[in-house]
Structure 1
Amino acid sequence: MRIRTAATVAGGALVLLPFLTPAAQADTHKGDTTFTSVTFSKSTVNVGVSATQYLTVTATAKDGSGIKGIYGGKLVSPAGRIAFPYSASCTRPTSTTMKCAWKYSFDANASDDYADLRNADAGTWHLDAEAAANDQDFYTLDTSKTVRIKRYAKLTATQATPEPVVKGRTLTVTGTLTRASWDSNAYWGYAGKSVSLQFKKSGTSTYTTVKSATTDSAGKLKTTLTANASGTWRWKFAGSGTTSPVTATGDSVALK
């Protein structure tokens, strides 16, 4: 993402900038103007530290007198930063409706640091747009349409030792949970998070959660259990409001 001068904002070229927004309010409207549909190409966008991620938002508005225009089309982060679309297009499917599609990019490692995502931006973003009708009616979307922009998480391949293991003996399972830091463009240990340990018995296709463990200050996981059957062990993190879910590659262990 690249930051542009303020003069280009009206053209939709600006992608992401800090902005002091007023407190979020409920949608407002006048007359029979309404948004008949608002859709997101993804319900959640998981962003790491290098690859740019994309999102398309499509909105259709209707009014008996016809829609003069749909304005705004910006996404607002929990920290009050704004993403403007890098491209926008609108059509008139009927005499009373207008349909607009806005495309956004999200990047933690842009060529200009000013345009980068920050950790404080992770969470629920809301669409801010207004449909204006020819008869002066309007409908403003303030907080009702949302999408999650999350920090991408990783789990190292599960390690279960010893391999093979004697039935009834202790098996030690380890792993590491990290997540993207948009502030430093690196992955750091995700501390204090509960992660499920799952097991799939040999000859079956379904994993079952056996127990859970909590990551230490470096995001490391370690637990022990009694080995009673051959099969595959894996760690699974359910995610959080700001961080993506992730499942580790499993480690197969046979009994001897």
Structure 2
Amino acid sequence: MRIRTAVTAVCGTLALLGAVAPVAQADSHHGDTRFTSVTFSRSTVNVGVSKAQSVTVTATAKDDSGISGIYGGKLVSPDKRIAFPDDGSCSRPSSTTMKCTWKYVLDANDSDDYADLRNADAGTWHLDAEAAATDHDFYTLDSSKTVKVKRYAELSVTQAGPEPVGKGRTLTVTGALTRANWDTNVYAGYTAQRVALQFKKSGSSSYSTVKTVTTDSKGKLKTSVKAASSGTWRWMFAGTGTTMAVTAGGDSVALK
């Protein structure tokens, strides 16, 4: 993955560029050219600190005069950095259509430090591509087709005690929420986040939320509840616009 300027960037090379993309505008078009289909292989891409993740985009454009080419095919991050496709190919299913597929690899720990994902990149990315027709009509995708790129999150296995516990006695439940820091390539405590404490009674198939607890300055969770019945306790984080949702492994506690 290499850094290139907007002028010298070449399709087929994956790159992330700082502050070179224009502010996203509404889609624009002229004539009867249109994209009949744009699909992402994943609606959300969750990226950690060491393993690259990929997403494939397939776009089909049509014009009665035929499509001369589909250009651009790049993903633009919330902070206006650009990811060019690592691989791509186009075909002509008919005389009036063209279909292109691009693969993007997103990595927070690329060998080229300048091409790594940054924390500011997390959020909604949009596809930037233009279909040009042989009669000079066109359709430009500026902001309508999007994919979520989020920071990977982890919840430690729920710990509840003492075990077993007397009915009506106090049970202490702990855990910890961390997320990938793309700037430093480590997992760090996710502070000031509301996390649901859930309980599933023995014999039941579903969990219900008992209370919501906020993580401390290190991402740790701790609360007390009254033990009313035997069952399993777990933490559940709903996620944010920049960080994935995650559910912790549960801890079964029996009454004595």
TM-score range, shorter chain: over 0.9
Q: Distance in 1 between matches of 2:9 and 2:86?
A: 10
Residue type matched to 1:145 in 2? K
Q: Distance in 1 between matches of 2:48 and 2:20?
A: 25
Q: Which residue of 1 aligns with 2:203?
A: 203
- For 1:217-246, what per-residue CA distance to the aligned partner results, in whole angstroms no more than 9, with x for missing partners? 100111111000000000000000000000
Output aligned runs, 1:233-244, within 5 Å.
Answer: 233-244=233-244
Q: Which residue of 1 aligns with 2:45?
A: 45
Q: Which residue of 2 aligns with 1:227?
A: 227
Over the matched positions of the two proteins, sequence identity in percent amounts to: 71
- For 1:145-194, what per-residue CA distance to the aligned partner results, in whole angstroms no more than 9, with x for missing partners? 00000000000000001011000000010000000000000011111110
- For 1:94-133, what per-residue CA distance to the aligned partner results, in whole angstroms no more than 9, with x for missing partners? 1000000000001100111011000000000000000000
Q: Which residue of 2 aligns with 1:148?
A: 148
Residue type matched to 1:206 in 2? S
Q: Which residue of 2 aligns with 1:252?
A: 252
Shift of 1:13: 1.6
Q: Distance in 2 between matches of 1:195 and 1:22?
A: 37
Q: Distance in 1 between matches of 2:212 and 2:61?
A: 47
Residue 182 of structure 1 pairs with residue 177 of structure 2? no
Shift of 1:59: 0.3
The alignment's TM-score, normalised by the length of structure 2, stands at 0.97
Q: Distance in 2 between matches of 1:14 and 1:47?
A: 16
Output aligned runs, 1:83-232, within 5 Å.
Answer: 83-232=83-232
Q: Distance in 1 between matches of 2:201 and 2:128?
A: 49
Q: Does the residue aligned with 2:9 lie in a helix, a strand or coil?
A: helix
Q: Which residue of 2 aligns with 1:3?
A: 2
Q: Which residue of 1 aligns with 2:60?
A: 60
Residue type matched to 2:239 in 1? G
Q: Distance in 1 between matches of 2:127 and 2:14?
A: 16
Q: Structure 1: 5+ residue runs without aligned partners?
A: none
Q: Distance in 1 between matches of 2:18 and 2:3?
A: 13
Residue 195 of structure 1 contacts residue 237 of structure 1 at CA under 8 Å; is this kept in 2?
A: yes
Count of residue correspondences: 255
CA RMSD of superposed structures (Å):
1.2
